[in-house]
Amino acid sequence: MSIAVGESLPEGTFLEMGPDGPAEVTVSDLTGGRKVVIFGVPGAYTGVCSTRHVPSFMRVADELRAKDVADIVCVSVNDPFVLGAWAEATGGAGAGLRFLGDATSAFTKAIGLDFTAPARGLVDRSKRYAMLVEDGVVKVLNVEASPGECELSAGETLLAQV
């Protein structure tokens, strides 16, 4: 069962590429007392993730910030080195998006938004989703029926709900 609107996010630890290498970011530090957008993708450098999902949040980043969103965070089951390079390659880093790695899929599994598609090389990956979180509580949650879709979880859709 996946997390639902009104529920608190479980504690967890992500890895983010920083100037001195990978750094830990806890869910409580990320969301405590703040309004944050978190969007999950099946994998860095994958088609829809790179061409549609990340760009959708880049397009609406300023408008989300104008609505008091403190951080716009992309979570993927990848290591922080890959996510750091992908953040630069997509332009997401320059747009102020944060890219956090859930390398072991622990957070993704804890919120019940994991899937496995071995024929596509995707094992213990994240479903495609977007959520608005306020002080650790999920206020809006949009989950795609298929990892190849990006409409419910697009930046523009979430912007209209904030």
Residue 142, C-beta contacts closer than 8 angstroms, at least 6 positions apart: 129, 130, 131, 152, 153, 157, 158, 161
For tokens 């029926």, name the residue.
145
Token pair recorded at residue 35 = 């309004």
116 Ramachandran zone, left/alpha/beta (phi>0; psi -120 to 50): beta
| Burial (CB count <10 Å: 0-12, 13-18, 19+), residue 6 | exposed
Is 49 a catalytic site residue?
Answer: yes
Decide: helix, strand or coil at residue 70. coil
Active-site hit among 49, 54, 77, 103: 49
Token pair recorded at residue 9 = 């996010």
Report the C-alpha gap between 59 and 155 in whole angstroms: 8
Q: 100 phi and psi, to 5 degrees? A: -115, 135
Please identify every residue annotated as catalytic.
49
